[in-house]
Amino acid sequence: MCAYYDLGGEGIAYRDTDAKNNGSGALNPANGSYLNEFRMKEGVDTSYTKFGLDPKIDDNPYNKVVPPSALLYIGWTEPGEWFNLTVDVTNTADYITDLLYTSNRGGSISFDVNGKPATGPLKITSTYYVSDPVSWRQWHHWNVAHDLARIHLNKGRNVITVRTLTEGQMNYATLTFNRARAKKPAAYSHSRRRSASDRKR
């Protein structure tokens, strides 16, 4: 879950363009609830999926994927922002990464692993639907970017940095890591030059 980014604060665990959490304690007023006050004193902007309201928000008919209700996510993203996620890996391997997200204009992100770039820019497809009559709901059309990246993780603790590169205005909910299948060896060629002994036969 992206909203459970590392502890440590600005410049250590994350970089955000302003110190205010525009979700927790703002869009979602502080009322003593865990979801509304989630990490509200930190700069990363967090919110959560809301169902059963009128008009529908995150359970709307323009989703390609319906997310779980009350799922925390990072939003209000801007180019240059980043956050760290520390993961404990059981097996050293390459992993295929899926991202549950929304994006009202498209954009690109990248991943670092343990302080080194692990990918180049990764294109995020827009989830904008011109047919949606509710303008602000363009930030709530959910989709999954399947096979977004292939990254190598070593056994033990790894720090993954998620960077917003271009456009911004994306919501990041969950990253899923599936162990990549081993690459198939190159096909064996049965054709070969005849040896001198073959030619004598």
User: Averaged over 163-189, what is the pLDDT?
Assistant: 86
Residue type, 41: K
Residue 194 has pLDDT above 80, yes or no: no
- Domain extent, residue 91, equals 2-200
198's enclosing H/E stretch is helix 196-200
**Alpha-carbon torsion 22, 27, 31, 35, what sign?**
negative
- Write down the mean pLDDT value for the chain: 93
List beta partners, residue 59: none
149's enclosing H/E stretch is strand 143-153
The overall longest dimension of the chain from CA atoms, in Å, is: 92
CA atoms within 13 A on the CB side of 140: 22
- At 187, the pLDDT band (50, 70, 90 cuts) reads low
CATH code (residue 6): 2.60.120.260
- At 184, the pLDDT band (50, 70, 90 cuts) reads low
Q: Which token pair is 93?
A: 């391997």
pTM of the model: 0.90
* Neighbouring residues of 94: CB distance < 8 A, sequence distance ≥ 6: 150, 151, 152, 153, 179, 180
**What pLDDT does residue 201 have?**
44
Residue 158 has pLDDT above 50, yes or no: yes
Provide the domain count of the chain: 1
- Rounded to whole angstroms, the Cα distance separating 165 from 122 reads 9
**Proportion of the chain above pLDDT 90, given as a percent:** 90
